[in-house]
Amino acid sequence: MTAVRPDIAPKQAPEATRFPTGFVWGAATAAYQVEGAAAEDGRTPSIWDTFSHTPGKVHNGDTGDIAADHYHRFRDDVALMKQLGLKAYRFSISWSRVQPTGRGPAVERGLDFYRKLVDELLEADIAPVATLYHWDLPQELEDAGGWPQRVTTDRFADYAAIMAGALGDRVATWTTFNEPWCSAFLGYGSGVHAPGRTEPAAALRAAHHLNLAHGRAIEVLRDQLPAGAQTSVTLNLHQVRPLTASAADADAARRIDAVGNRIFTGPMLRGEYPEDLLADTAHLVDWSKLVQDGDLAAISRPVDVLGVNYYTPTLVSLPEKGESGSGNDVHGASAFSPWPGSEHVAFHLAEGKERTAMNWSIDPDGLYHLLMDVTRDHPGLPLMVTENGAAFDDYVSPEGRVEDPERIAYLHGHLDAVQRAVADGADVRGYFLWSLMDNFEWAYGYSKRFGTVYVDYASQRRIPKASAHWYSDVIRRHALPSAGLS
Ligand code: IFM
């Protein structure tokens, strides 16, 4: 392991740039992206195993079979987190590792992995933050219909109970879902994610059932967790902007806000689906049948904190009739739209902005506005930035270093945006960098590196990038550097 490098240590920060007392500093990963050990200790395939093993679905035919081998190397990884000074680690649980068929009794060997991981974290004084679901539905449940089927919410509530029973005494912060928008609309709409279905009506049904499963899991967690444990959900809220000031583009922004954001925040935080969403999608689903009595009360059970993930804003327009719609949607190329009911909206990349290796424009103000918009719409709701970060084309220098000044600049800009939002009244409790280490970036396979720690996949060697040392110093000082790098 490399020691913290003095040459990139920030200068002493003035008092004004310090983060609030208790602000949590973390990094995040997800089970399928880092664990590997895909067929060990009783684990069975999830939809991502099936999808990644299907030719043509993932860049280069990459799979998560080995990934970053976190399953075997978690102790070293926790030691590295400790060395970097992380205060919290956000990980997800592989459902098919602990309950291989998605129903019935748990497999102790699978639970043991998470028990050991959590113990190791607590030993290192790093708070475990567990996400129950980060996109990897057990394949057997997809074979039975997947998220478009209501019965999957029963299975999820059972699984939540198993995990609360196994780890509830040691994990203080629980997240039901990570980015349910991606599960519903990339998984069942555009099909660029597992299970790769392209059925707009099924995508909307999936969204409702993900909402319901969230609410049911919150009830289970609240019943089983000790008082003081925190419950949450993480949403990738789209910071939607109209391309021009025209009424047509304002309508495009409204539509994408409805099916990108308010389809989740409406029922979860207000106990209702937005009327405009219901109207925009009425030709696809009969909402009066889909949403049953008691669903909205279940979905709107209060959470203690809302996780928000942010990478880049979403710039939209409504083309004239006859013009093509899709444009530059950052959610991947597909002949099928992930925006049911609003397939005609066009997506754009902002001019004049720098881009990451994902071709996403770098726009820290988007994070500031997102935090302020949620604060305005849901006053008093504590927020946590549960993912933020960037992929760049990192490489190891002949001296064995990974210099990633673009990532440092990205993180600096976005942490500054968090600070501005806090100063302006947003109750932001913490920040999790995506990602702790390079990993399987879904349909992009291993071609995109989001880690602050470089992973040499051939040897599984970990090399903290310059940004990891920079982040480590930010954590230590609880403040951003006042004047760039020394
Ligand atoms: O890698 C993903 C993560 O799994 C979910 N949020 C976005 C990240 C970058 O694409």
pLDDT digits (tens, 9 = 90+) for 426-484: 999 999 999 999 999 999 999 999 999 999 999 999 999 999 999 999 999 999 997 54
**pLDDT for the residue numbered 70:** 99
User: Nearest residue CA, atom 1 of ligand 1?
Assistant: 441
- Ligand 1 nearest-atom number relative to CA 391: 9
* pTM listed for this prediction: 0.96
* Three-class DSSP category at 256: helix
* Residue whose token pair is 């999790």: 432
User: Do 41 and 8 meet the contact criterion of CB atoms below 8 Å apart?
Assistant: no
309 lines ligand 1 (CB under 6 A): yes
Q: Assess contact for 303 and 232: CB atoms under 8 A.
A: yes
Residue 441 Cα to ligand 1 middle (Å): 7
| Domain residue spans of the chain | 24-477
136 lines ligand 1 (CB under 6 A): no
Q: Strand, coil or helix: what is 307?
A: strand
| Domain 24-477: which CATH number of 3.20.20.80, 3.40.50.720, 3.40.50.300, 3.40.50.2000 | 3.20.20.80
CA of 90 to the centre of ligand 1 (A): 13
Among 184, 181, 195, 197, CA closest to 240: 181
CB 470 within 8 A of CB 8: yes
Question: Residue 486 has what pLDDT?
Answer: 35
Q: How far is the CA of 392 from the centre of ligand 1 (A)?
A: 14
Question: What is the three-class DSSP state of 317?
Answer: strand
The secondary structure element, H or E, covering residue 416 is: helix 405-423
* Pocket mutation for ligand 1, best pick of 367, 438, 442 (most atoms within 8 Å of C-beta): 442
Which helix (H) or strand (E) element contains residue 120?
helix 108-123
Please indicate whether residue 179, judged by its CB atom, sits closer than 6 Å to ligand 1. yes
Residue 235 has pLDDT above 70, yes or no: yes
Q: Any idea which of 98-107, 204-213, 324-333 has the lowest mean pLDDT?
A: 324-333
Residue 4 — very low, low, confident or very high, per pLDDT cuts 50/70/90? very low
pLDDT at 69 over 60: yes
What local confidence, expressed as pLDDT, does residue 9 receive? 45
Query: Is 189 within 8 Å of 338 (Cβ atoms)?
Result: yes
Amino acid at 124: A
Q: Which amino acid is at 270?
A: R
Does residue 203 have a pLDDT over 60? yes
Query: Closest ligand 1 atom, CA of 435?
Result: 1
Q: Which residues are catalytic?
A: 179, 387
| pLDDT score recorded for residue 483 | 52
State the pLDDT confidence band at 10, using cuts at 50, 70 and 90.
very low
Would you mind telling me the total number of residues written for the chain in this entry?
Answer: 486
How far separated are the first and last CA of the chain, in Å rounded? 23
